[in-house]
Amino acid sequence: MQPVAAPAWQVTRWLNSAQPLSLEGLRGRVVVVHAFQMLCPGCVSHGIPQAQRIAALFAGAPLAVIGLHTVFEHHAAMGEVALEAFVHEYRVRFPVGIDAPGPQGDPMPRTMRAYAMQGTPTTVLIDAAGRRRQQVFGVWEDLSLGAAIGALLSEQAEPAVPTAPLRGSGSGCDADGCSP
Amino acid sequence: MQPVAAPAWQVTRWLNSAQPLSLEGLRGRVVVVHAFQMLCPGCVSHGIPQAQRIAALFAGAPLAVIGLHTVFEHHAAMGEVALEAFVHEYRVRFPVGIDAPGPQGDPMPRTMRAYAMQGTPTTVLIDAAGRRRQQVFGVWEDLSLGAAIGALLSEQAEPAVPTAPLRGSGSGCDADGCSP
Amino acid sequence: MQPVAAPAWQVTRWLNSAQPLSLEGLRGRVVVVHAFQMLCPGCVSHGIPQAQRIAALFAGAPLAVIGLHTVFEHHAAMGEVALEAFVHEYRVRFPVGIDAPGPQGDPMPRTMRAYAMQGTPTTVLIDAAGRRRQQVFGVWEDLSLGAAIGALLSEQAEPAVPTAPLRGSGSGCDADGCSP
Amino acid sequence: MQPVAAPAWQVTRWLNSAQPLSLEGLRGRVVVVHAFQMLCPGCVSHGIPQAQRIAALFAGAPLAVIGLHTVFEHHAAMGEVALEAFVHEYRVRFPVGIDAPGPQGDPMPRTMRAYAMQGTPTTVLIDAAGRRRQQVFGVWEDLSLGAAIGALLSEQAEPAVPTAPLRGSGSGCDADGCSP
């Protein structure tokens, strides 16, 4: 099966972005979409911090992290004012789009419906040509998600694996002893 | 700078492998070398579990995880019998080579010296052509290491990003509610 | 300095409780008050789960865990409807009181003001006689908080340290080998 | 059932202590015994760090943390030289006794046998009068262990619950905003 174009985003408002964003406007970059609800425990404990780690780690790469607030329950509790407070308190710096409400009688918002997401958190990987390449509901482990991102970045001209030795962070043993 | 051939391994004995292993014998596979000491806290808490996650996650991929016991201190405490007990108790299943002792007066073993490792844990990525592509001393975060592995795997013919939607593990919210 | 009576709670509504709660009504029980805001990251990641662990661990002891929603910022985002959704999604089962809004011009609610809390999360320990014995702003480690609770429980007639050997949970080594 | 005197320790050598230690010599102090093996994964990941936290938290209290190296398997891998390296690398500062080998044919050392321990890690709580009050095999959660310690300390004359408000560590929200 060939990957096909990712559905367009239907967003009523963007936070952390001066102008509306679109897949067309991000062509040439790998796009990591993190669809979440601000009162979804798994999003708060896992998905949001992971999206922040991705944004920091690939800050210099042709990659964009995009949040999508896909509220399908407790709508009254997760409106715009609440989301603004959430984004502020959790220091979310990447753009966050508010998914457009569904048509009458559909609790699921429009982009969430178009992507056939099963719930939150959902992570969508879109390649530099705008094609949806992977979509995962629930916790996606860093190692596996990192590998998928690395593969998509490698399809670009730019080399993704630096050749120079790097220094990792944290603990290790060297000639001066061990740090815990 | 072009990546060059990784130095050969100088190993006195292999655990978890019926026969000696070499870079030549692993040609065509990405190789992740985890150099450790069994009494190095950072190796035990971070490096070994990470190597085990890599081995499990990429079990079906053209990738090999190789442990290298590079003892450069407390030699009397980390001999073969102790390593066997460690490998057993920590359920290490991937091959582990015992790095050959250095020449008279050098506490650092031979492969560790040949790779100019700074200490333990050290992770080395070798591509399918046997070239050293990256080497990191200390903690290498899953997301970043995953991306580097994904990039190397993508240089192979086999596609590294599955196109079908997957189900992640753990917590999320769906139509039936949220799991924590 | 002698401990003095804890200030009365000024609460507009109780969740998870059929009737209003008061310190007088809880006399004879050690009371652990967890003051939080539903959009306070440290409360969500640390304080609430800790309060849930306390409630579970001391379910059979003369001890009550009481939540107090002390909103002093982003008031519009953390109203009753939002709190109800939060309590539902995070499976908070202990009683939660909504702290009464402060007088005109004071963003801090009344109980929070009466206790001179510095922010959220704040944990307050009240003994069985209704006296405030300790109050901590920020993360209070389990080991230390546990010791304080154990001391207060010991002031009661009931013995707090079981004399029979117990079986802990999780990993260990025995005659059958080790579990990780 | 009344608590009875804890069995005497049968130790061949003490690390981190200038002279041999005994229960009699520690009378008046609560004693937390952490029985471990240096190659027991649950001891290394959970028990040793917890014992270190206890030693740090109760540094000023009438309490002693005592390690006991109770090797009942892989004896050749966990001898004195290996233990010295372990204690050094993991920065264990509290006294550690090497449990005396059992009589011919018994792989279990003598103190471990006298306490009828089931495996490692095992935590034993001994009160200030030298009586064994609790013994847990496996992981003992901080909150519960803390409560048991707090109860035993409360049996002493010294008050265990400070009355002054304290500042916890880590994240919280105050008038200046939230720290994650």
For chain B, give every domain's residue range: 11-17+26-62+69-154
CB contact under 8 A, A86 and C78: no
Entry pTM: 0.91
Does B171 have pLDDT greater than 80?
no
pLDDT tens figures, A2-34: 789 999 999 999 999 999 999 999 999 999 999
Does C8 have pLDDT greater than 80?
yes
Determine the pLDDT at residue D166: 53
Mean pLDDT across chain A:
92
C177-179 and C172-174 as β-strands: parallel, antiparallel, unpaired? Answer: antiparallel
Mean pLDDT across chain D:
92
pLDDT tens figures, C93-136: 999 999 999 999 999 999 999 999 999 999 999 999 999 999 99
Which residue among D134, D136, D139 places its CB closest to the CB of C171?
D139
Determine the pLDDT at residue B161: 56
Q: Which chains touch B (3 or more CB pairs under 8 A)?
A: A, C, D
- Tell which CATH architecture fits domain D27-155: 3-Layer(aba) Sandwich (3.40)
Q: How far is CA A35 from CA A24, A66, A68, A69, in A?
A: 19, 8, 5, 6
pLDDT tens figures, D9-62: 999 999 999 999 999 999 999 999 999 999 999 999 999 999 999 999 999 999
Mean pLDDT (whole number) for D90-99: 98
Alpha-carbon distance B95 to D39, whole Å?
A: 19
CB contact under 8 A, B89 and D41: yes
Determine the pLDDT at residue D3: 87
Interface of chain B toward chain C, CB-CB under 8 angstroms: 89-91, 173, 178, 180
Mean pLDDT (whole number) for A80-108: 97
CB pairs under 8 A between A and B: 216
Alpha-carbon distance D65 to C125, whole Å?
A: 27
CB contact under 8 A, A150 and B154: yes
Which residue among C90, C91, C178 places its CB closest to the CB of B89?
C178
Alpha-carbon distance B166 to B168, whole Å?
A: 6
Interface of chain D toward chain B, CB-CB under 8 angstroms: 39-41, 44-45, 74, 76-78, 81-82, 84-86, 88-90
Asked whether the beta carbons of A69 and A63 are under 8 A apart, the reply is: no
Quick one: which H or E segment has residue B134?
strand B132-137
pLDDT tens figures, B22-61: 999 999 999 999 999 999 999 999 999 999 999 999 999 9
In chain D, which residues have their Cβ closer than 8 Å to the Cβ of C35?
Answer: none
Q: Does domain A11-179 have CATH number 3.40.30.10?
A: yes
Q: Locate tokens 């590998």: which residue?
A: A147
Q: Which chains touch A (3 or more CB pairs under 8 A)?
A: B, C, D
Determine the pLDDT at residue D163: 44
In chain A, which residues have their Cβ closer than 8 Å to the Cβ of C39?
Answer: 82, 85-86, 89
pLDDT tens figures, C62-100: 999 999 999 999 999 999 999 999 999 999 999 999 999
In chain C, which residues have their Cβ closer than 8 Å to the Cβ of B178?
Answer: 89
Phi-psi group of C38: left, alpha or beta (phi > 0 → left; psi -120 to 50 → alpha; rest → beta): alpha
Alpha-carbon distance B4 to B127, whole Å?
A: 10
CB contact under 8 A, D173 and C119: yes
pLDDT band at A156, cuts 50/70/90? confident
pLDDT tens figures, B56-104: 999 999 999 999 999 999 999 999 999 999 999 999 999 999 999 999 9
Which homologous superfamily does the CATH classification assign to the domain defined by B11-17+26-62+69-154? Glutaredoxin (3.40.30.10)
Mean pLDDT (whole number) for B154-163: 63
CB contact under 8 A, B149 and A152: no
In chain A, which residues have their Cβ closer than 8 Å to the Cβ of D178?
Answer: 89
